[in-house]
Amino acid sequence: MHTLKSTRFILIFPILVLMAPFSDADPAKRLNNLVTELLRIESFTPENGDEIRFTNPRTGWIYMALNAGDTDTPVDILLQEKTILQSDGQSAEPMETMRLLPEGEHRLTVRSKGKPRIKSFIVRTMPETHYVRFPQEPRFPELGEFSWPWLKKHVLSSVNTVVGFPEKSGEAIDEWTGSGRKFISYGSLPHDKDLNGTAAFEYWYKNPGFQDPRLSGLIADEFQGRQHPLYPAWIEGMRLLGEKVRGTGRAFYAYCGGPGMYSRPETRQLVRTVFDAGFYMAWERYHHEMPTLAEAETFMDGLLGKEMAKWRATFPGCEKHIVLVLGIFATGPDLDVQPEVNYKVWMDMQMQYLATHPLFDGLFGIHWWYSGAASEELLRWESALYRHYCIEGATERLSSRYGWTYMLPHIQNPDFFHELEEWQPEPASADSIKAGYLERYAQIQNRYWHRGSYPDEPAGNTYLWTKRQAERPNIVSQQIKQLVPGNVYTVQLITADYQDIIHGRSEKKQHAVSLVVDGAETIPQGSYYSIPVSGSSSHPQLPFENGPAWFNHHRVMFKATGETARLVVSDWASPNNPGGEIGQELMYNYVQLQPYYVE
């Protein structure tokens, strides 16, 4: 029997030769803040019963990949006498697994009936990667169908922890946890007026996350960084929970938002209680886009780097018990506030920051909130980012491979901030097209950065206005630039009924609007029109007393056939059919044209 230890080997047949051994001070290859390669064995022929050893430097997730190639000989890798990797000897694709393992040495056993020639076997550390939530469907069906089979095919290969609702998840839990990965229950905080520590403990402990033997705990929404009269009960309940579940492998994840939890005495005590119990803080850091790349980088550094420095100063070693919660809610528009910015690049920048900034070295986990306000494209991109940074250990931006940039170059003035500059208007009659401005419009349109009073600036409050005529449509158009022939793009638009908005009428309706890309190949299955979407809030300057404000979302997916095309927007449903009420006044903005992520 051979014993292969945590180092690098290359087999020069028929002798196993040790190549470039690591010293005790440098036992592994650090790839980025999140990933360390503990073992790589290439081109070797193991015997049945051979043992592979590696050392996990901390309690945390381990990624393993076996590439047995097409050897025609099945190979199994066992951990503690249980098969964790299995190759049938036929597939050319690597077999992967993830396991949450304690700190220290671990031994794997190779099982094979022959002497297969293995291409490679890799062991790496990785962070906890969350998918949130299951089951969960998107804001409207046209954004995708997030079924378990679809998630397995497109998203979950780079995920080791699913957050969701166990009572609705059925056999998916058995399948998922049977693969060695975690399912944690989604829950809340108790807010009873007379709450005490025992009641808080019982509220959490009765959750399926701690009662269902298949589950690994509970994530609860949410603590705030300000004093609260219930903090004493929550703290005591957390202490009791920690005592109860210690050693079971189950944990509590505490969502936290608002001011830093380091800033008040009671919030500091809560965090220390969470850490003392071996639990985790799920720290929310939601980044809306900024108008320029320079502003975005400064904003990200303040929201992530400077805040993490305060956490680490207050709670030394806290990175080992923090799950960083980023925002993937970007279809409302929510965090995707700037139509001239590529949100996928913005996501990439945040992941790169976590993977490379020294303050996040050793971060326990990453979590994107949440699938219900995402699209199928963003969920697939989330998975790609997890693989790029959390498994492959990359440091360069993934979006650079596709030639994507933070600022979208294809159209100009997409929010009509500069009135009709760059647009060619074709009014149906005098004064039937004009640019407008409405204070707080962006807030009721559900742009995340306009919630409350921060920031109070005009971006998103500007719009194009048309009044539908009977004789012919109102049209605005603009040349699209810098397309790559053969690549797929989407262009989207948000509309509203002007009279409904200014009078605070909550009326769900569809708007007769045409959105066309001339000179490109439309992809019908990726396009949708006139989808009613409600805003989440109103404002005293724009009150909606009988319900939310309503908008329509429109999108065209197309394949570029040249480097340029023409975008045409009309207030008729088609060239020969108004399709809507004559005299209706519509508002248009958020014209976003961007590359589409194709796997």
Q: Is the pLDDT of residue 290 over 60?
A: yes
The pLDDT tens digits of the residues spanning 414-435 come to 999 999 999 999 999 999 999 9
pLDDT interval class at 4 (50, 70, 90): low
The continuous run of DSSP H or E covering 426 comes out as: strand 424-426
Phi-psi region of 519 (alpha: psi -120 to 50; beta: other; left: phi over 0): left
State the Cα–Cα distance between residues 102 and 61, nearest whole angstrom.
Answer: 9
The reported pLDDT for the residue numbered 68 is: 86
State the Cα–Cα distance between residues 355 and 308, nearest whole angstrom.
Answer: 14
State the Cα–Cα distance between residues 20 and 14, nearest whole angstrom.
Answer: 19
State the Cα–Cα distance between residues 413 and 339, nearest whole angstrom.
Answer: 9
The pLDDT tens digits of the residues spanning 368-405 come to 999 999 999 999 999 999 999 999 999 999 999 999 99
Q: Beta strand 8-12 with 36-44: parallel, antiparallel or unpaired?
A: parallel
Helix-strand-coil split of the chain, %, nearest 5? 25, 35, 40
Apex CA 246: angle with CA 245 and CA 250, to 5°? 60
Greatest Cα pair distance, the chain, in angstroms, is 89
Lowest-pLDDT choice from 63-77, 401-415, 558-572: 63-77
The continuous run of DSSP H or E covering 355 comes out as: helix 343-356
Q: Beta strand 365-369 with 322-327: parallel, antiparallel or unpaired?
A: parallel
Q: What backbone torsions phi and psi does residue 356 show, to the nearest 5 degrees?
A: -125, -25
Q: Beta strand 565-570 with 514-518: parallel, antiparallel or unpaired?
A: antiparallel
Give the number of C-alpha atoms closer than 13 A to the C-alpha of residue 189, restricted to the C-beta side. Answer: 21
The pLDDT tens digits of the residues spanning 105-120 come to 999 999 998 888 889 9
Q: What backbone torsions phi and psi does residue 208 show, to the nearest 5 degrees?
A: -55, -25
State the Cα–Cα distance between residues 39 and 476, nearest whole angstrom.
Answer: 59
Residue type, 202: E
Q: What is the pTM of this model?
A: 0.95
Q: Is the pLDDT of residue 18 over 90?
A: no
pLDDT interval class at 20 (50, 70, 90): very low
Per the prediction, the chain carries an average pLDDT of 92
DSSP line for 125-152: EE-EEEEEEES---SSGGG----HHHHH
**Mean pLDDT along residues 282-300:** 94
Tokens for 423, please give them.
Answer: 């647009």
Residue type, 548: P
Q: What backbone torsions phi and psi does residue 240 show, to the nearest 5 degrees?
A: -65, -40
Comparing C-alpha atoms, which of 453, 535, 447, 522 is closest to residue 496?
Answer: 535
Instruction: Give the number of residues written for the chain.
Output: 599
Residue type, 251: A
**Mean pLDDT along residues 89-102:** 89
Lowest-pLDDT choice from 348-357, 455-464, 519-528, 554-563: 455-464
Q: Write down the residue that tokens 């469907």 correspond to.
A: 137
Query: What percent of the chain lies above the pLDDT cut of 90?
Result: 83
The reported pLDDT for the residue numbered 312 is: 97
Q: Is the pLDDT of residue 104 over 50?
A: yes
**Count of other CB atoms within 10 angstroms of residue 585:** 18
pLDDT higher at 55 or 88:
55
Q: Are 237 and 203 in contact (CB under 8 A)?
A: yes
**DSSP secondary-structure letter at 474?**
-
The reported pLDDT for the residue numbered 88 is: 80
E strands, 88-216, in order? 95-101, 104-112, 118-126, 128-134, 161-164, 182-188
Q: Is the pLDDT of residue 268 over 50?
A: yes
The continuous run of DSSP H or E covering 198 comes out as: helix 197-205
What are the structural domains of the chain? 3-126 (2.60.120), 128-402 (3.20.20.80), 424-595 (2.60.120)
**Count of other CB atoms within 10 angstroms of residue 392:** 17
The pLDDT tens digits of the residues spanning 52-84 come to 999 999 999 999 999 987 777 889 999 999 999
Q: Write down the residue that tokens 């550390």 correspond to.
A: 125
Q: Is the pLDDT of residue 176 over 80?
A: yes
The pLDDT tens digits of the residues spanning 217-263 come to 999 999 998 889 999 999 999 999 999 999 999 999 999 987 789 99
The pLDDT tens digits of the residues spanning 462-510 come to 999 999 999 999 999 999 999 999 999 999 999 999 999 999 999 999 9
Give, rounded to a whole angstrom, the gap between the first and last alpha carbons of the chain.
Answer: 42
Q: Is the pLDDT of residue 213 over 80?
A: yes
Q: Is the pLDDT of residue 98 over 80?
A: yes
pLDDT interval class at 455 (50, 70, 90): low
The pLDDT tens digits of the residues spanning 305-341 come to 999 999 999 999 999 999 999 999 999 899 999 999 9
Helix (H, G, I), strand (E, B) or coil at 366: strand
Q: Write down the residue that tokens 């009420």 correspond to.
A: 581
Lowest-pLDDT choice from 86-95, 102-111, 411-420: 86-95
Tokens for 138, please give them.
Answer: 């998107």
Distance set, CA 21 to CA 5, 10, 27, 57, 524 (Å): 10, 11, 8, 17, 56
The reported pLDDT for the residue numbered 449 is: 66
The reported pLDDT for the residue numbered 21 is: 33
